[in-house]
Amino acid sequence: MSDLIFTHVRKEFPGGVVAVEDFSMVVPNPRMLVLVGPSWCGKSTLLRMVAGLETLTSGSIYLGEQRLDTVPSRDRDIAMVFQSYALYPHMTVAENLGFGLKIRKTPRAEIERRVREAAATLELDALMERKPAQLSGGQRQRVALGRAIVREPRVFLYDEPLSNLDARLRTDMRATIRKLYDRLRTTSIYVTHDQVEAMTIGDVLVVMNKGRVHQVGTPESCYREPADTFVASFLGSPAMNFVDARIDGGTIVSRDGVNMPVPPSMSGLVRTGAEVRVGIRPENLHPAPSDAPHSARVVAEVSLREPLGHETLTHLRFGAVEWVARGTREFSPGPDGQTPVFLDLDRMHIFWKDSGRRVDSADATAGATEAPA
């Protein structure tokens, strides 16, 4: 199988609306690539350009040696699963599965073989004589997946296929799609705005916003080492906690009253006077044990608890700032209503306030330019 190659792909609609600004990437075969981001970020437009449903303003898309964007969509050997099931209501499940092959004049025996194999893979064997109106939402989506499978395409495209399902069915179908990819090992591109789908289904995430790519990486790396404040805030539920601050020697001084030491890993990367935005994820805020270093403690007021059964979300107020902690340990306020909070400094992130980029080893001298004169 062939790699999928994007070279400076751009899509601009009439009126100057740029949906995809400049997308370049090599997707090795096989990969489950997930395009994730908020609405209108360009992810579906990019998918539609691969499918041939949108034309490129500039750039190129190759599948191996073949330039794909110059080939009619019907000849690209790509199968797409849409948000709507798009099943033929007057056909049975078996007829829906095989219809695409029938219009391509595939031999009957081959159609029957592929339909039988797809039905077995998706556990549709007992539903083959039913029509779409007799199926649940999850069953209909499995038929839509099966219709793509029987094509045996070079690339699978998924355009938010689970958006119409309830929470329980979405969980089941996430697992189905991932298992399907692991079995077929065919390059797939999956579009979603749901971060849980992105994190659980993808091998590689492309995090997009307003037509631009903010980060490309594994789900783990995008979550643990976000490239900027957009990625940090978009991935994670509840979202990462932030506070704006200024570096003063070895201390992060916030105008909102939250002060903390510069993490040891950041020592020397940020200079006195630098304007930064500090972020820490909810799972990295804990009730402070008695032996916790004083420098890693802050005092907060518990303003709200949200018990979720397996864990609790605790809203903590530090002066004018409210952060959310997530975990199984309870914060116990003292007689004054305050509770000590331990900050896991090793899990803290510092971003340059102006650019939003995360501070890392490449920014060893950046503090001089980020800091005000």
Q: What is the pLDDT of residues 130-148, one digit of tens each?
A: 999 999 988 999 999 999 9
| 251-273 confidence digits (pLDDT tens) | 999 877 778 888 888 888 888 89
pLDDT score of 309: 92
Token readout for 189 is 């591109």
DSSP state, residue 358: B
Domain spans, the chain: 4-233, 238-370
Judge whether residue 371 has pLDDT over 50.
Answer: no
Distances in whole angstroms, Cα of residue 363 to Cα of each of 71, 217, 357: 44, 20, 10
Q: What percent of the chain has a predicted confidence (pLDDT) above 70?
A: 96
| 42-85 confidence digits (pLDDT tens) | 999 999 999 999 999 999 999 999 999 999 999 999 999 988 88
Rounded Cα gap, residues 268 and 244, in angstroms = 19
Give the mean pLDDT of the chain: 91
Going by pLDDT thresholds of 50, 70 and 90, the confidence category of residue 41 is very high
Q: Let me know if domain 4-233 sits in CATH 3.40.50.300.
A: yes
pLDDT score of 77: 92
pLDDT score of 364: 45
Question: First CA to last CA across the chain, in angstroms?
Answer: 55
CATH superfamily of 238-370: Nucleic acid-binding proteins (2.40.50.140)
Judge whether residue 166 has pLDDT over 70.
Answer: yes
Distances in whole angstroms, Cα of residue 218 to Cα of each of 35, 169, 206, 350: 12, 25, 9, 21
Is there a common fold for 4-233 and 238-370? no
pTM for this predicted structure: 0.89
Going by pLDDT thresholds of 50, 70 and 90, the confidence category of residue 369 is very low
Q: Where are the strands (E) in the chain, listed by range?
A: 4-13, 17-27, 32-36, 58-63, 66-67, 78-81, 155-159, 188-192, 204-209, 212-217, 241-248, 251-254, 260-261, 275-280, 285-287, 297-307, 312-318, 321-327, 338-343, 349-352
Lowest mean pLDDT: which of 72-81, 87-96, 249-258, 316-325? 249-258
pLDDT score of 167: 84
pLDDT score of 297: 84
Q: What is the DSSP string of 239-303?
A: PPEEEEEEEETTEEEETTS--EEPPGGGTTTS-TT-EEEEEE-GGGEEEPPTTS-GGGEEEEEEE
Going by pLDDT thresholds of 50, 70 and 90, the confidence category of residue 366 is very low
Amino acid in the structure at residue 261: P
pLDDT score of 120: 92
On the question of a cis peptide bond just before residue 238, with omega within 30 degrees of 0, the verdict is yes
